[in-house]
Amino acid sequence: MITKNDIDIFISKIPPAPKTLKDTFGLLQIGDLVKAAKLAESDLALKSYLKNLVNKPIYGFKNEVSDISQIFGILGVSLSQQAVYNYMTSLLSPDEWLLFKLNAASFYELQAQLSKKWEAILTYLKVEDKDIYAAISLLPSSIIVSEALFCKSIDDVTLLRTTKALDYNTILTRLCGIGLFDICEKIAHKWEMNEIIPQIIHSASGVRPSDDEEINKLGKWMHLLLFFELSQPQFIEAGLNDFVDFQVDYVSDIYDEFATLMEIK
């Protein structure tokens, strides 16, 4: 169905971060929002993506925000970096989704929902590290990886999953000895993301907790946030609810706080 060779080919095809983005990140790292915005303006695809993202209802702006310097100014350094990473992840998404019933709009919506709620969580946890803000951007890449690897074997996977409730991460791990989140880690390395980001993502998988308590805590919140989003009707209908296994016990100690924060009644 899928071999290690298929995974290697997929990873080899992931483009490195374009120079404009690298330079934008560099400027965002030193807090130079003005220069970063100026540079980002030159990348029309990035500009269009950012405009689309921040004008979604969840960002709550009354009037349309169209100017990049305005966008970066409103978002601040951490969220601007997060938004640019979201754009990079979106570059990996396919033109046409086959395995999951998604499209560009619904995928961007998922990114926006995760990003804004992750921001609320980090504010609640009093975390200010901008790399931790950016970590959420890598999470949806696990969906893109599943789509890319399994889209050619939809019939086989469907047949297999009518016999046994196996998630894509388990199938991939059992077949190739490498999981979805290991591939996300490779993407992070290729994009030269801070080391902490893949560590949080692994912890957020729910199947490979970290030895570092702080990373683990963030991983739990991210895992629960992911399934909160994947329980929304549009993502259930997209077939995402069970694309990876939800680890209820792993997140049980933070559930009450999460429910309060997300106003779940």
Q: Contact residues for other proteins (CB under 8 A)?
A: 1-3, 153, 155-156, 159-166, 170-171, 174-176, 224, 227-228, 230-234, 236-237, 241-242, 245-246, 248, 251-252, 255, 259, 264-265
Question: Could you count the other beta carbons within 10 Å of the beta carbon of residue 105?
Answer: 10
Minimum CB separation of residue 112 from other proteins in Å reads: 19
Report, in angstroms and rounded to the nearest whole number, the Rg of the chain calculated over CA atoms. 18
Contact status, residue 79 vs residue 59, Cβ threshold 8 Å: no
Q: Which is nearer to other proteins, 56 or 161 (CB)?
A: 161
CB of 70 to other proteins, least distance (A): 34
- Distance in Å, CB of 210 to other proteins, minimum: 21
C-alpha to C-alpha distances, 95 to 103, 118, 127, 188, nearest whole angstrom? 8, 27, 35, 22
- Report the residue number, 70 or 252, with the smaller CB distance to other proteins: 252
The residue (of 194 and 241) whose beta carbon lies closer to other proteins is: 241
Q: How far apart are CA 157 and CA 122, in angstroms?
A: 36
Residue 108 or 243 with smaller CB distance to other proteins: 243
Output the CA–CA distances (angstroms, integers) from residue 171 to 73, 121, 198, in the order listed. 44, 31, 21
Q: Using the minimum distance from each CB to other proteins, give the nearer residue, 59 or 246.
A: 246
CB of 62 or CB of 164, closer to other proteins: 164
Which pairs with CB-CB distance under 8 Å and at least 24 residues apart come from 15-22?
15/91, 16/190, 16/191, 17/88, 17/190, 17/191, 17/192, 18/43, 20/46, 21/46, 21/84, 21/87, 21/88, 22/192
